[in-house]
Chain A
C-alpha cells in the first residue's frame, strides 16, 4: 500500500506534530470586542461562530492546555490561594463537594468506585470552587498528580479569545493512613483569555472517585540502595535518544536476582544482598564501561554454567568516526567477575541496536541473539511515517559455539530488512519446539517470523493477523486469556493531541487514510491466539491498551490471582516546564 501522505493530512499527523506554528498571529486575528460575560450559570454552549483554521485552533488549544498544566502544578502543591488565578472573577461552575453518590461498586483488588450525581452539583463562584477543591482534596497528605487534559476545543471567532473545551480532569493522592484515592471527571469548561487564559464556566458530565485501602506497590528505591539521580532529560549531560534498559540475572550464582542497568556515563550492577538491599558493583566487576548501552541480556554464551552479559549499543557513528560503541559481550568467571570479550567474531561491526533477544533459533544448543536495529536518528530521518525503509538492518547473531563468537546471518536468512526496529521477543507460539520471533517496528509494519524448524524463518505477520501497522515500540508474549496458548502484546504510541486533531479531520479526509492515522494514535494492541494459530485483536473497549506513548510491557500475574496482568512503561519526555498537551 502506498503511503497515504497527501497534504491536508499532515496536520493530522499532528499526533506527531509539535512546535509547528501557523503564519498568522492568532491574537491579532480576532480584533472584535469582548463579549459580555454571562452572570447566571447555564450549560456551556459551543461557540456560535467557531474558528475554522485548524492550525490556529490547535495553537490556541495548546495555549489553553499549557495554562491548565500550570494550574495542575499549583493544585499539586495544594496552594489554594494561588489557584484562584486560573479562574475568572465572574467564575460560575460545578463544585467538587456536596454531591450525592449515584452508584458504588467494589471492583477488582478491592477498588471501591463511586459515581456521583453531577446533576445535583452545587453551583459555586470562584471562592466556592477552590473551597470545594480544598474540602475534597485537601485531606490528602500527598497529592500525587493533578491533570487537566484538553480532549477537544472550539474557539469563538472574533472578540476576546474564548472557547469551549472538552475536559478530562484527573487527580490522585494518598490519605495520611496510606489509602490511595483517585478522582476522574469529564466535563466542559468555557475559557477566555484575560492576559492569561482563565476558566469562567465549569460543568461536569461525570464525576468518579476511586479508593483503595492499600496500594499494590510501594517504591523502595532509595531504601534498597538502587537510587540514581542524574541530569534531567534534555540537558547537555542527558540528551541521548539511546534509551537504556535493564536486565535481571543471577550474576554471582547465589540464587538472588541481580540487576544490570546500562546508563549514561557509566553502567550499574546492583548485587542483591541478603538483607534486601543492593550494593552497586559495576566497577569492581568490570561492567561499568562502555556507557550508553540500550538493551542488555544475561545468558550463558559459552555454556559454562554462568551468566554472561551482552549489551546492545547504538554504534552507527563508528562508521564515520563520530564516536559510539560496538555491542559488548562480557563473559562471567562464575563468581560474577566479568571480562570484555568483544574481540570475538561477529562483534566488530557497529549496529544501531536497541533490544537484544536471546534464542536458539537453529536448535544447536548454543544461544543466539537477534538485534533489533533502529534508524540513525541523529543523521537521517525516517523516510516514511508508515512504511519507512531507511532503518539500519537487523542482525541475527548466530552463536558459533565453544565461546568463539557470532556470525550475523540475518541477511542470509532474509531477516535483516531496513525497517526501524525497536524491539523483539521470541517464544514458541505454535508449540512446535522452536522459537518464533516477533519484531516491533517504528514507522511501519511489524514482522512475525515463524521458525520452520530448520534454522530458517517465514514472515507471517499478515497471515496471522498481527502486522499492527503503527509505531511499534515493544512486544511481549504471554497468555492473557487463560486458554494455555501464548498471546501477544504490542506497545505502540497514542497521543491526546493526535486524537484531538483527528476528531476534527474525520470529515475532510478519505476513510482509508483516516483509519491509518487513527491506528497510529490508537495505543497498544492485544492479540489473543486462536486455536488455528492465528491471532485476533482484542477490541480497544476491552481495556489494557490505553497507555499513551508506551514502551516496555511485561505480562505477569502481579496479584497472583491466576491471570496474567500487564505493566507498561509510558511517556516520551516530561520536561520541567509546564508545556505539554
Chain B
C-alpha cells in the first residue's frame, strides 16, 4: 500500500480521510513527509528466510549479506553467473537503485530449462518436480510474480548432499512426463514428449568481487587527479600516478569520528615504509571539519600525505564526488591504485598487518 492518511480526532469522535485543497491527500501526507526526508516504515531490511525442512523457517537476514535497507521493490532470483547457485538483483526506490548480490554458497544442483511442443513453446505455467534428498520439490515456471518482478525461464533445484534427483514435468495441457534420474550439477533441457533430458553447456561468467557501496569506479578504471585541499586548506592535487611513483598507491578513506580509522593510522604509516607502496589519507569529513580532522592525521600518521574536501575551483582536477560517493562509502576503506592510476582492489575495513 501507499501510506495512508487516516487520522483519529478523538475529541470530536469522528474519523475522516484528510484531503487538502485540490492536491489530494498524497501531497498532504506522503509527498510532503518524504520531501522532508522523513521515513515511514523505513529502515526495514530485506529478508532472507531459510527453510529448515520441518515446516519452519529461520530468519538469517542480518547475516545474509543481502539485507539492504533501501526499500526494495522488484527482485530477480537467477543463476546469473552459471555456477549453480542463485544470485539476486533487487530494484530499490532510494539513491542506489540497483543491487546485485552474488551467491557465495555453491552446492549441488539440477538446472532445468523447458521446451513445450504441444502449446506455447516456452512452457510458461509448467510445473517441474524434482525428487531430491528432502522429498519432492515443485516449482512453477513463471513470468511475472512476486511484485513487479519477472524471473528468468530456468529453474534451479538444490540437491544437498545427494548425487542425483529424479525429474518430472507437468506440462501446460496437463501431460505428466518423467525424465528419469539426473546427475548433480547437470544443466538439462527438457523437451515435451521426448522423455529424455538433453544436457546443455555451462556458460560460466563469474561475477566480480565486490567494490564498496559508494565507490563509483569499476576494477581497472582509472582514477584521475582529484582536486583536494591540504591540511592548511590550500589547493592540493591528489594525483594517483605521481603519488604512486612507479609503485602501488593506497588511498585510505577516513573520518575524524571513525575510531577504527584513527586506530589504524600507525599501521598505514608502517605500510608506507615499504619500497613499492605509498599511502595517502583522504579525509571524508565535510570541509568545515578539516580543522578538527587535520591534527588527528598529523598526530597519528605524521609523514603521510593527507587530503581534505572542499577544493574550489575544480577546473584543475576532477571533483572527488564523481568517483566516490562520500555519503555512501563505508569507512575505513582503502583503494589500491596501480602505478598507472588504475583501481587494483579495495580493502574494506581496516588494512591487514604490515
Contact = CB atoms under 8 A, between A and B. Distances in A.
B137 A219 contact: no
Contacts of A567: 46-49, 66, 75, 77, 88
Nearest to A293: B148
Nearest to B91: A246
Given A217-B102, A493-B1, A552-B146, A484 B136 contact: yes
Contacts of A6: 15
B114 interface: no
Task: Determine the interface band of chain A, counting residues with CB < 8 A from chain B.
Answer: 35 or more
A299 interface: yes
A434 B124 CA distance: 10
B344 interface: no
B65 A427 contact: no
A219 B15 contact: no
12 contacts: A17-B7, A138-B259, A142-B349, A182-B62, A229-B97, A256-B205, A300-B121, A377-B26, A420-B1, A422-B147, A559-B50, A564-B137
A410 interface: no
Given A249-B150, A491-B147, A579-B39, A7 B15 contact: yes
A300 B73 contact: no
Nearest to A566: B49
Given A300-B120, A572-B40, A222 B217 contact: yes
A470 to B, nearest CB: 9
Given A257-B78, A272-B205, 20 more contacts: A55-B8, A77-B255, A138-B260, A216-B60, A218-B104, A220-B100, A227-B96, A229-B95, A230-B95, A273-B205, A364-B119, A420-B1, A426-B142, A435-B125, A543-B49, A548-B41, A562-B158, A567-B88, A571-B69, A575-B37
A58 to B, nearest CB: 10
A538 B52 CA distance: 14
Interface stretch (A90-98, A115-123, A350-358): A350-358
Given A248-B150, A574-B70, A377 B86 contact: no
A357 B57 contact: no
Interface stretch (B165-173, B226-234, B296-304): B165-173
Interface in A165-206: 170, 172, 174, 176, 180-182
B224 interface: no
B85 interface: yes
B50 A558 contact: yes
A433 interface: yes
Contacts, number: 655
A431 B107 contact: no
Interface of chain B, helix or strand or loop or mixed? loop
Interface stretch (B126-134, B244-252, B273-281, B309-317): B126-134
A284 interface: no
A366 B119 CA distance: 8
Nearest to B42: A574
A292 B2 CA distance: 17
Interface in A398-454: 420, 422-428, 431-435, 440, 442-443
Contact of B158 (A77, A215, A425, A559): A559
Contact of B325 (A108, A229, A244): A229
A347 B237 CA distance: 56
A77 B258 CA distance: 6
A360 B125 contact: yes
A476 B146 contact: yes
Contacts of A538: 55
Interface in B63-103: 63-82, 84-103
A153 interface: no
Interface stretch (A274-282, A325-333, A459-467): A274-282
Contact of A575 (B42, B88, B260): B42
Interface in A536-581: 538, 542-577, 579-580
Interface in B1-50: 1-11, 13-15, 17, 19, 24-26, 29-31, 33-50
Nearest to A134: B259
A78 B58 CA distance: 29
B263 to A, nearest CB: 9
A334 interface: no
A428 B172 contact: yes
Interface string B238-267: 000000000000000001011110000000
